[in-house]
Structure 1
């Protein structure tokens, strides 16, 4: 099914879209069902869809990794879409970027070295650079096409890419971490939405990969923080519980926060914030 139809963009749950494109294949056999540690977690947001009216398509190409679409909407400004899933709109992006960046940074007493995994639109980078204590920001974005389109079509988000504190690395963030341990005070993962591989496992649901991030954070001084944007309590409660339980085996402090983001599924987004010490992360 074409997600751009008669002047409208429609975001479908990947598992529902696969069923529609395969003439009614059952959900149980869908390759788009989410899995973590071999456990099925259901569809991304099955049984619902979200639409925005398109004023003009500004960019649409396939990168080495994904389908990249930018369009001007009638009510939400320019919209970035990756593999058919809305990543950011000019109207409401701040409500996600500010939460994911500022929760761990304000909880840390003196964040100097920050790592951002993903975040190619530049929004998290913009917010991190607002903290005067931050001396260096390392950003790992695997898809340089996302960075390029953000610079051209999302200037309010991508304004930090020329900042002198930025060290930009175009590649896999998890691979980067294997060779850069003991370097970061705060690690923020701003990866894209669930796109299962052939195995059905999503990279950010693969707890072996998450462990790589956590091992890097655990070797830092006692108040290091790790933050990741993670889904909606209305749609993904079993998945959230699964990820919280896993992180509590490693971190003494694990908190889950949420905020309203109008163009994300169910209108909300969650944030998993972990700390190496027993401190208040979300209450201050």
Structure 2
């Protein structure tokens, strides 16, 4: 359920009952239902442009880079040579934008099920949708499941930039999806998927990490700070087919000058390492 009252939009969702996040709206730029979901774009007083799907904030111009960079560079910097990358979801283009910045990436393939999200993002969210214009990019509109069934042992890294597990994204948090990703990877390949926040979705975190561990010999959960997400945080599960991989320490590190030249605003090697440091109450839940 979502409401606009006296120019204020309030987000609420069954995934975090009893709480809400609100922002002041300057203008409703887009409001339409696609075949899959309700798509809204707002111009706001304090957050810039905001994309909302099915009543849930997906990204805001103010802080989107922390999510996009971390879901991209955590797995990319854990892989010794991430030349070919698959992105599932990510219809706003932000992950593609940041994956393309990694100097070792030669080819990006993206599969997004909802063509309308792509078109709306190209029109209103150009700061992210520039990712679709990169020469490394090949974009497919379709189902990620079906795509991976026909592309075995092909990718070095697979990144799943999904919305929360309601609506069309539910299946991206299931065991058979992680099994499909595993089969689509080259030897020693790595996956990274959005996996919720432990403040409001501990069971989601636990279950998604458990599934990842069932499929990959090395798996871990990392977090990043996104002020406009529930509790100001979001997490990722990362899995590697390399049984000797150390996900906590990047195999490729960049200097501050290199990061600046790549236009990375959040990610660096220190943040990479720190993202896997979890509070004790979380470790009690997810560690054996």
Deviation, 1:206, is 2.5
Output the aligned Cα RMSD. Answer: 1.5
Task: State the distance in 1 between where 2:3 and 2:183 align.
Answer: 40
The residue number in structure 2 matching 1:74 is 45
SS state of the match for residue 240, structure 1?
A: helix
Contact 2:2 2:55 in 1 (8 A): no
The residue number in structure 1 matching 2:278 is none
Structure 1 residue ranges (4+ consecutive) displaced by more than 3 angstroms after TM superposition:
none
Which segment is superposed worse, 233-242 or 78-87?
233-242
Deviations 1:5-54 (A, max 9, x none): 221111111x3xxxxxxxxxxxxxxxxxxxxxxxxxxxx11111111111
The residue number in structure 2 matching 1:215 is 183
- 1:128-147 matches, within 5 Å, as 128-147=99-118
Deviation, 1:163, is 1.7
Deviations 1:236-284 (A, max 9, x none): 1122112222222221110111011011111100011110112111333
Task: State the distance in 1 between where 2:33 and 2:208 align.
Answer: 31
Give the unaligned 5+ runs of structure 2. 251-288
The residue number in structure 1 matching 2:83 is 112
The residue number in structure 1 matching 2:212 is 247
Contact 1:103 1:282 in 2 (8 A): no
Call closer, same or farther: CA 1:158–1:2 in 2, change over 3 Å.
Answer: closer
Residue 20 (structure 2) pairs with residue 6 (structure 1): no
Task: State the distance in 1 between where 2:221 and 2:177 align.
Answer: 20
- Count of aligned residue pairs for this structure pair: 249
Contact 2:115 2:141 in 1 (8 A): yes
Call closer, same or farther: CA 1:53–1:162 in 2, change over 3 Å.
Answer: same
Deviation, 1:141, is 0.5
Give the unaligned 5+ runs of structure 1. 16-43
The residue number in structure 2 matching 1:283 is 249
Deviations 1:169-197 (A, max 9, x none): 00111111000111110000001122157
Contact 2:75 2:191 in 1 (8 A): yes
The residue number in structure 2 matching 1:153 is 124
TM-score (norm 2): 0.83
Deviations 1:107-159 (A, max 9, x none): 11111110000001011000000012111100001111111111111111111
Contact 1:114 1:136 in 2 (8 A): yes
TM-score (norm 1): 0.84
Task: State the distance in 1 between where 2:94 and 2:217 align.
Answer: 29
